[in-house]
Each structure stands twice: as structure tokens, then as C-alpha cells.
Amino acid sequence: MFKGITKRWMLNTLSVILAIIILIVVSLIFFVTYLFQNSVEQSLNATGSELSLVFPSYESDSSTSFTASARDYVENFDKKEQMEVMVINSAGRVVMTSTGFIPTDKTQMTDFDDAKNDENGCAFWNGKLNSGESAMSQTRVIKNTSGTVVGAVRYMVSMEPVNSRILLISAGIIAVGLVIIGLVVLSGLLFIRSIVTPIRRLSETAAQIAQGDFSASEKIEHKYDDEIGDLCDAISDMAKDLRTTEQMKNDFISRVSHELRTPLTAIKGWAETMQLSERGKLDRKTFDRGMGVIIKESSRLTSIVEELLDFSRIQSGRMVLMNEKLDILAEFDEAVYMLKERAVKEGKHLLYDEPEAVYPPVYGDRNRLKQVFINVIDNALKYTPKGGVVAAQVIYSKDDPDVIKIVITDTGCGIPAEDLPRVKEKFYKANQSVRGSGIGLAVADEIMNLHNGSLDIESGEGVGTTVTLTFPVYKEGEENSMPENIKL
């Protein structure tokens, strides 16, 4: 039962609280005891101060005169019900009491000896009598004018009623302390339970989610608008994201399987046709057509595999860049040239006029950047209908001399507003009707990030899409701060 957070709370917080409460209770008991005992001492002291009026001075050592004065004092003592008064002679023997009972010689009166040695002639005693009764006394010695002790008066009060009151109040203080400890423990356990129980349920839910049961997040109860509530929301959102990612991954696997199966089927079909046909019976036109299909589909397979490998390298942080100073215009022009013939075959217009001005170089991997160009232009052609236009331009302005921008615009179907924020996510594919694995744009975005650049997309459904590639301009000494071969 008591483990984890509860155990730590009991060992740490509760132990400190208990120690503080016990210290307060003990201190209060000592304070009450001191207060009552001091009250008795003050009462004895106030009563004993009367002796200066009763026994002002003596000119002789006459014990008879002292005894007579003491008898009158005892007989007229008005606090007999509150305390007992004793008259002690110079030898230390009790000769008279207000109760009429003379204590035995075995009764020790250390306060008489202490009073004789005290500068003020006064001493207190607190202890138990021979009968076992607790008592407190004050003894004041009487001296003559020559400083000789002629006797003493002792006042004694029973401490039993006082001790009973101290015990009663101490019991009340202890009871209050126990109630406070009980309330602290109860409230602490309830508070800990309000934390531990939801966390335990969240832990069980997280374990179910880890095993693939994403529907377990629907059972999470959100009772508190605090950190626990935030944690519930975070796990629910995480489960939704994981479910979405899992679905996207499954769709991705399905798409990739289909993308691989299509060219493999074509390659296998034409290879079997060529193999089964009699030697020399296959006409040149059919042979060339079959070889063209095989080469085309093999290139397509290679492209898919390379895309998957690049994605794997990026995910594992093993993407290798061969950086060098290069002419971004020449690389982009080559990428456009590679896809121009395809655009013509598909009945689409790929427009690009290379600027006549000389632009500053950039620092990066020419093959990876060309891969980005081809991927972006390929996407634009895929989503642009027959007769549509894909236009590209390179922008460099002296108002912003630190970057070069390449803008590629198409008149295709566009991207829905709800899909636009996610098109660069891995596995995500907004338009399922168009071929593709759905990771090409994610790979291109990562390559741009590795070059300290950016890939930004603007689109309107039914209007078209604009992709802007931004590259930082090469600065002198940049190759010294970044090695030729970078493993990321």
C-alpha cells in the first residue's frame, strides 16, 4: 500500500511535520508547566515579602522574642487555606505550624540551609514530601541587627492541584497535536491519492498504448485542471498522434508496396514475354518497347528505393553531405532540363528562363540539392493536369543579399487548407489518387534544413501550389567551419 510517492511522502514530508508538531507539543507542555510553577513561586514570594513588616529587626538573639512574634504571625495568617506556614528556629527545627502538626526530624528542609547561605535570605524547594505528595516551599530567614539568624518562616503549597491542571492541559495539548497529525495524515493521503491514482491509471493506459491499443486513451478521465489534467491531455494527444502516425505508416507501407509492385509487374511481364517468344520472332518495335518499359520501370524502382534509403538515413541521423561551393543556377537548370521532356510528353508546360545575371554561389551538396529540385518539380508535374503550367524562377535581390530563392509554381489541384500544415510530415499524403510514397517532400524538407535553408509551401485548393526554396549565400571561410564530408 505504502510505496512509491506515498512512501516518499511519509518518509520525508510526514516525518518532518511529525517532528515539528511533537516539538511544538513538548514546548507547549514545558511552557504550561513553567507558567503554573512560576505562578506558585510568585504567590509564595508575594506572601513571604510580608515578613519585612512583621519582623522588622531584632536587637538581641532572644529566641523567646522571635517565637512570640512568630506565634502572633501564624495565628493571624490569613492564607491558611491556600498554604501552610511553618516557623523554624535558628537550629533548623520546626517549632510551630499553621496546621498544628509538627513535621518529624526526618523531614528534609534543604531550602532552610539554602536560605541561610543566600544573599537575600530566601530559597525555594520543589519536590515530594515523605508522604509522596508533591509540594513547593519558600523559606525566608529572619536575622537580627547584627546579621545573626534567629529563625525562619517557611511557606508550603501542595502542588497536587497544580500538577493535575498541568496534566489536564498537557493532555489537551497532546490531544490537539494528535488531531492535527491525524488531519495532516488524512489530508496528505487524500492528496497523494488524488495524484497517485490518476498517475497509476495513466501508467496502465500508457502501457496499453505502448502495446498498440490506442483506444485506451478514450478511457482517460480528466477530473482536474492542473498538471495531472495537462498530463491526461498530453497522453490523449499523444495517443491520437500515434494512432494517426500508425495509420499513416500503414498507408505508407501499402502505398510503397503498390509503388513497388507496379514496376515489378511490368518488368516481370515484359521479361517473360521476351523469354517465351521464339528467338528472332520478336519484332524490333515490340522489343524496343519492352526494353523501354523495363528501363523506365527499373529507374522508377531505383528512385523509390533511393527515396526510402534517404528517408532511413535521415531518420537515423546518417545522412552524409558532400559540401562544396557551387553555382545554384547551373544545378537548377540541369534539374529542369531532366524533366522538360517528361512535361512535353504529358502535355504540360514547364517554363523556366535562366537569369542572365551572375548570382553568388551557395555552399552545399550538389546531388542532394538536385534531388530537392527534381522532387519539387516532379510533384508540381504530378498534380498539374494536362495543359497546365509549371513555372520556375530564381530570385536574388540586393535588398536581401544573404539568400537566394527558387520559386516553383503550378496550376494544379492545390492542397486543402486542413492538409497544408502536414504535407511535410513523414508518411503523410494529402492526395491518395496520385502515385507516390508520401515521403519525398519530407526528405526534401530535411535536406533543406541540413543546408540551413527552408522549404515553404503556399497553396489554394483548385488554384495551385507555390513552393519556395531558400538558400543562404556562400560566405568566405564557410568551408573552414564546415568539413567537406558531414555525417548527420
pLDDT in tens, 437-488: 567 788 888 889 888 999 999 988 888 999 999 999 988 766 554 444 444 3
User: By the 8 A CB rule, do 86 and 97 touch?
Assistant: yes
> Looking at the DSSP assignment, which residues form a beta bridge with residue 395?
405
Mean pLDDT of 140-158: 83
Identity of residue 215:
S
Residue with cell 503498390: 258
* Nearest in space to 463 (alpha carbons), one of 394, 389, 375: 389
Mean pLDDT of 371-392: 90
Mean pLDDT of 123-136: 86
Residues 38-89: tens digit of each pLDDT: 998 888 888 888 776 666 655 444 566 777 777 888 888 888 888 888 888 8
Distances (CA, A) of 165 to 33, 38, 61, 168: 9, 14, 44, 5
pTM of the model: 0.50
User: By the 8 A CB rule, do 208 and 238 touch?
Assistant: no
Confidence of residue 35 (pLDDT cuts 50, 70, 90): very high
User: Does 25 score more than 60 pLDDT?
Assistant: yes
Residue with cell 488524512: 186
User: Does 2 score more than 80 pLDDT?
Assistant: no
In this structure, what is the dihedral angle of CA atoms 288, 291, 295, 297, given to the nearest 10 degrees? 110
Residue 155 parent element (H or E): strand 149-158
Residues 239-279: tens digit of each pLDDT: 887 887 777 777 767 767 766 777 888 888 888 877 776 55
